[in-house]
Structure 1
Amino acid sequence: MSDQELRRIAHIDMDAFFASCELSRYPELKGLPMVVAGGSSHVPRIREDGTREFSRLRDYAGRGVLTTATYEARALGLNSAMPTMQAAKLAPDAVLLPVNFELYRHYSQLFKAAIRSISPQVENIGIDEVYADVSSLPGDATEIAQQLKSAVFAATGLTCSVGIAPNKLLAKLCSEMQKPDGITVITMSDVPSRIWPMAAKKINGIGPKASAKLESLQIKTIGQIAAMSEAWLVQHFGNRYGRWLYRVSRGQDDRPVVTESVPVSMSRETTFERNLHPVRDKPALSEAFTRLCERVANDLQKKGYTCCKVGIKLRFEDFKTVTRDLTLSTAISDAKSLRLFAGKCLKRIDLDKKIRLLGVKVSGLLRADRVDQTDSEQFTLDFDE
């Protein structure tokens, strides 16, 4: 038996995570089409009789996109990243809830702690999904998958779908096969019958451009890629990507589960529901700018990092995007310092048009416990500082 066959890698993916978190707060919405997209104006209101009154998609006006949708909403054609106004035309009566990232982070922490209680070898890959190396755990793969699901449900009250396979590539593919609340286990011998019929774009790493090129070559499934020679794939997709396509189409992936990784950067951004004028809307811009810096600082501190580089991103009403960054002489992680240096970046941009999007990014990350910390200065801050 090969080393790959001896490995058992689990991919655990929470089901409609943001929507499920919201349903834990509002159980009366279970079974109804519901989306998460609105701002604070769409917080449910309490009626005189004590029941809650929810906003509907028809109440939305703006340029935002859906963050998530329940499975009932997906059945109506709604999906994440869809423009909210487009969704309102398809399902005007669907319930609309505001985004609540504090709630989602809370449930994410509970979910990941539950997985680590079963398997300590866990790789964090998103707020609602992880890989776990369960090779050394006793029991067959289906039993292990059920243990993982049970632990998550006990900790959160939410369901997840689990795929277990000889590697990360296959585990991620099979976790989607029986969503929601499913378990899928495959081995290398299952690849021809269960993986090859899947659409090529299902493989993480085959993006829209590569998918379009494959289709132009009359290739739509993973099996059709696997039917091609390595030389043919290299000829059409280049040496590196062509060889990668050859391997992954055959279910080959030797990447380990990485239990600790250093992030390259952290960022937060917001798209305004209407374009904001740099002068007339200065208070709203200043508030949004400060809030973004506070959220980035919170991310740094929660994960134990400092940064040596601060940057900003602006997208104007004409969709032109501008970025500026500043390298620092001292590592920082507090919101006031971030706000100061992000403000210095902002001063290097001509603010002569209305602003559609604002973002703050930090990079050059260092572990906080390996940096000599000094007291931060107290700064007076302003949007145009």
Structure 2
Amino acid sequence: MLSATRRIAHLDMDAFYASVELLRYPELRGQPVVIGGGRNAVPEVLADGSRRFARLRDYVGRGVVTTSTYEARAFGVFSAMGMMKAAQLAPDAILLPTDFEAYRHYSRLFKAAVARFTDQIEDRGIDEIYIDLSAVQGEAAEVAGRIKQAVREATGLSCSICVAPNKLLAKIGSELDKPDGLTLLRMEDVPLRIWPLPVRKVNGIGPKASEKLAALGIGTVGELARADLGLLQEHFGRSYTAWLAQTAQGFDERAVVVSSEPKSISRETTFERDLHPRRDRPLLSEAFTGLCLRVADDLRRKGYVGRTIGIKLRYDDFRTVTRDLTLPEPSADGAAIRRAATECLRRVPLDRKLRLLGVRVSALLPVEEAAGLAALPIQAELPFDAADGG
């Protein structure tokens, strides 16, 4: 039995973006599919009504994999991998474009389904949540099973869920039996199920910490649990060592945070080819305006306005610059955000090609705390008119 006083679940949708696409293209079920192509990856509808799909081997560009089906993962293709490398591993995989509007729609559906069981939900992103089930009646397996079924009925998609005494174990456990997993973990299960795992499976132990631990001969959570604290402290300091020691034993006292105030809302895009500020001005202008309007839409949807508008540019030599501008009044208006972002843009050199462009709004306030916001019309001026580089 799990602790009667604390039952924390972590729910993670299975290959979420890819699974949403398979609802749209059911003929691709069971095939290796990679999500992350641009507009060239939109399927072609043939005269007989069938569809011709792009193949990963035909991809040319510098994009990265957004996600992949489990069949593609069997070839070693995972999220954040460069698309060209993925094409070497799985050249015959189907390539599809991303559709974030669809993913957000299904995200809202699955979270609404879970909310029928409890309002003690911590939103961790588009495809995962923590749920405090401590006050929900019923055995852990039975409650988790009903939640999984509710998610499937609402979305047509599967999820994996782990119920454990804390967030640390619930997060790790939701990965253990994917896809469509239902996992129960108790503190006494830690040596058997958690200690054999690589340390990188623990949320909070990143690549750099994993490398340092490996250099000390520590590769698994169990080896971390048995490590000399003095040795760890020499390399990681007192506070992080204390956290590592607690984590390796499966201890975690963090509460499920039902509501939290975001510090900023941002959007960015990496171009498939480097764009020149003058020669590619129409493309950059379209992307720039789209980012501003999408950030504005995100603000309105989440009920916030913001005072500080910022931009982020990454040049073709990988240098990154940012600029910020604070408005007299907070806003969630797309034109106001675009106008301020344009002023930020004028304060950076536009003499090299660009590989990434981003727009951010910070210093947020709930919309009910702000008043007197005026909607301003979209200006016709292109944001890259300031570009005069060669």
Shorter-chain TM-score: what band?
over 0.9
Q: Which amino acid aligns with 2:351?
A: D
1:261-300 aligned within 5 A:
261-300=260-299
Question: Residues of 1 paired with 2:257 and 2:31: CA distance?
Answer: 38
Q: What residue is the counterpart of 2:130 in the other structure? A: 131
The 1:240/1:5 distance shift into structure 2, 3 A limit, reads farther
1:52-131 aligned within 5 A:
52-131=51-130
Q: What residue is the counterpart of 2:384 in the other structure? A: 384
The answer as to whether partners of 1:235 and 1:242 remain within 8 angstroms in 2 is no
Stretches of structure 2 that go unaligned for 5 or more consecutive residues are 386-390
Q: What residue is the counterpart of 1:200 in the other structure? A: 199
Q: Is the counterpart of residue 374 in structure 1 residue 341 in structure 2?
A: no
Question: Residues of 2 paired with 1:242 and 1:371: CA distance?
Answer: 43
For the residue of structure 2 that corresponds to 1:6, the secondary structure is coil
Q: CA deviation at 1:23?
A: 0.2
Q: Which amino acid aligns with 1:307?
A: G
Q: Which amino acid aligns with 2:210?
A: S
Q: What residue is the counterpart of 2:159 in the other structure? A: 160
Q: What residue is the counterpart of 2:210 in the other structure? A: 211
Q: Which amino acid aligns with 1:32?
A: Q
The answer as to whether partners of 2:55 and 2:93 remain within 8 angstroms in 1 is yes
Question: Residues of 1 paired with 2:41 and 2:196: CA distance?
Answer: 42
Q: Which amino acid aligns with 1:384?
A: F
Q: CA deviation at 1:228?
A: 2.8
Q: What residue is the counterpart of 1:12 in the other structure? A: 11
- % same residue: 56
CA RMSD of aligned residues (A): 1.4
**Size of the alignment, in residue pairs?**
384
Q: What residue is the counterpart of 1:257 in the other structure? A: 256
Superposed CA offset, 1:49-107 (max 9, x none): 11111111122111000101000111111111111111112211111100100010000
Q: Which amino acid aligns with 1:177?
A: L
For the residue of structure 2 that corresponds to 1:228, the secondary structure is coil
Q: CA deviation at 1:230?
A: 4.1
Q: What residue is the counterpart of 1:31 in the other structure? A: 30
The answer as to whether partners of 1:233 and 1:246 remain within 8 angstroms in 2 is no
Question: Residues of 1 paired with 2:114 and 2:140: CA distance?
Answer: 15
For the residue of structure 2 that corresponds to 1:268, the secondary structure is strand
Superposed CA offset, 1:336-372 (max 9, x none): 1110000000000010011111111111111011111
Q: CA deviation at 1:5?
A: 6.5
Question: Residues of 2 paired with 1:219 and 1:231: CA distance?
Answer: 14
Q: CA deviation at 1:236?
A: 2.5
Superposed CA offset, 1:243-279 (max 9, x none): 1111111111111111110011111111111111111
For the residue of structure 1 that corresponds to 2:383, the secondary structure is coil
Question: Residues of 1 paired with 2:21 and 2:299: CA distance?
Answer: 26
The answer as to whether partners of 1:65 and 1:81 remain within 8 angstroms in 2 is yes
Q: CA deviation at 1:374?
A: 2.4
Q: Which amino acid aligns with 2:361?
A: V
Q: Is the counterpart of residue 352 in structure 1 residue 351 in structure 2?
A: yes
The answer as to whether partners of 2:278 and 2:384 remain within 8 angstroms in 1 is no
For the residue of structure 1 that corresponds to 2:116, the secondary structure is helix
Q: Which amino acid aligns with 1:363?
A: S
Q: CA deviation at 1:6?
A: 2.3
The answer as to whether partners of 1:192 and 1:223 remain within 8 angstroms in 2 is yes
The 1:284/1:17 distance shift into structure 2, 3 A limit, reads same
Q: Which moved more, 1:115-124 or 1:148-157?
A: 115-124
The answer as to whether partners of 2:305 and 2:366 remain within 8 angstroms in 1 is yes
Stretches of structure 1 that go unaligned for 5 or more consecutive residues are none
